[in-house]
Chain A
Amino acid sequence: MVTRQSALRARQVAAQVPDPELPMLTLADLGVLRDVRLTEDGTVVASLTPTYSGCPAMAEMRADVAARLRGAGFAKVEIRTVLDPPWSTDLITAHGRRTLRAYGISPPGPAPRRTAGPVPLVLGAARLAVGCPRCGSADTEETSRFSATACKSLWRCRTCREPFEHVKEL
């Protein structure tokens, strides 16, 4: 018997799974967990979306979500990959953003707006103002657009002198 309660519980269990690369965040915080539902025959169907095409952690995420759900007593679990619509950093929750900052990682600003037609190229564009997640100073500079993972860039605070990572707007 599929109950509303067990559907809610499945969702809660799946929502608690940590991200393999940013383990302070859950997959729900990141917006990677798209959907959790129970079918008529009691199968839990959880949908995940990759952050980047080359995200090496998708298989691990699938394994983690399935293992947690089975551990919570759901015998039949199916994990689906959803590519469309693509993941965006706008899907990171307010809680996820606070958690990132608490761990010294600057959360992303609003993702660039996607409009129809060619993507404009802006040369020498002024970068978004990124605040230092440690001291709060706005006097920061980007040192590299790419970091240890594709989703982050490298920054430095000119006030407290600490380097930090910033989750890129995507």
Chain B
Amino acid sequence: MSDDIDDHVYLSLAEQHDQEGDARWAFGTGFEDPLHGVDTAVPDGVDGAELAAVCLALGDDALVGAQRLAQWCTRAPELEEEVALANIGLDLLGQARLLYARCGQADGTGRGEDAYAYTRDPADFRNVRLAELPDGDFAFCVVRLLVLSTWRLALFGRLASTADPVLAAVAAKGVPELTYHRQYAADWAVRLGDGTDESHRRMRAALADVVPYLDEVLDARPQFAAHADAVRQETLAVLDQVLLAAGLSLPAAPAVPGSGRQGDHTAHLAPLLAELQSVARAHPEATW
């Protein structure tokens, strides 16, 4: 890396990539390694493959979730909600970048964030299927966000003291962000569940659509085995609290077989990734 690489974002990137003959940065969030300057050695006693699997799964949940939230732009019920959903998506995208960067260090490939986001096929993604389901109505958006943010917050709170210092720091940084996401979803769940007949009906329908994918989120083995029971309990307790206030309850429904953590996905993931990856795949060496 040249001495003046930090001088100006665009000039320095152009210079860096001219030297390396690589202009893929144009597609990404862009601007080099989000863990730039962080001590990234994997400590003794931490299994690199396990760490990479956790980072990949959590990164994929966040990237796919962020993409679904971004699809609410121009479609949300009010401008304020559109801005809120976009902001929540941006937080998740930021978490995905850090997690992918860590994954590339832990799995020994040295791949950067763009390689994970733009060049993998659907079967290589490890996100839970709930994250990839199509957007549906606003009630579905609220219920999905409630489940995913509640689970993620419960897990990140515990990962904040995990043995890998980088993953621990990424998790600790995510906790206050996820606290806002969960609050947003919970407030809307109560408002809609305890609202009009129509909003209540839609919340019930959304719960019926989400519950078959709940076990997959809570199970999430094998990567999160160390925390699975405590995270499951905390998640269910918070969901109970919210649904009680909303005048709703979790319906009984059989789980859909398979798991996105093993690479089983619905037919909805491929078109989502095709759109997300289209420019990067069509013009692998393009720059502007």
Contact = CB atoms under 8 A, between A and B. Distances in A.
Contacts, number: 144
Nearest to B38: A81
Given A63-B8, A121-B238, A54 B95 contact: yes
Contacts of B283: none
B19 interface: no
Interface stretch (A6-14, A24-32, A132-140, A146-154): A146-154
Interface in A30-54: 47, 50, 52-54
A159 interface: no
B287 to A, nearest CB: 17
A77 B6 contact: yes
Contact of A114 (B86, B87, B175): B175
B9 A81 contact: no
A150 B32 CA distance: 22
Contacts of B174: 53
Contact of A148 (B83, B94, B175): B83
Contact of A79 (B37, B175, B180): B37
Contact of B80 (A62, A81, A154): A154
* Interface bin, chain B: 35 or more
Given A54-B95, A56-B29, A145-B180, A67 B7 contact: yes
Contacts of B165: 84
A53 B172 contact: no
B91 interface: yes
A86 B172 contact: yes
B8 A67 contact: yes
Contacts of B168: 84
B94 A53 contact: yes
Contact of B94 (A54, A86, A124): A54
B84 interface: yes
B59 to A, nearest CB: 11
Contacts of B88: 146
A23 interface: no
A119 interface: yes
A59 B37 contact: no
A81 B102 CA distance: 14
B34 interface: yes
Interface in B22-81: 29-32, 34-38, 80-81
A34 B97 CA distance: 22
B17 interface: no
A86 B29 CA distance: 21
A72 B184 CA distance: 45
A92 to B, nearest CB: 15
Given A66-B7, A147-B83, A154-B80, 7 more contacts: A53-B174, A81-B34, A83-B172, A119-B175, A144-B80, A146-B83, A146-B87
19 contacts: A53-B94, A53-B170, A54-B90, A54-B91, A54-B93, A66-B6, A67-B6, A77-B6, A86-B175, A87-B173, A112-B176, A114-B176, A118-B154, A121-B238, A123-B245, A145-B180, A150-B90, A150-B177, A168-B180
Interface of B: 3-4, 6-9, 12, 29-32, 34-38, 80-81, 83-84, 86-88, 90-95, 97-98, 153-154, 157, 165-166, 168-170, 172-177, 179-180, 182-184, 186-187, 190, 234, 238, 241-242, 245
Interface of A: 47, 50, 52-56, 58-60, 62-63, 65-67, 70, 75-88, 111-112, 114, 117-119, 121, 123-124, 143-150, 154, 168, 170
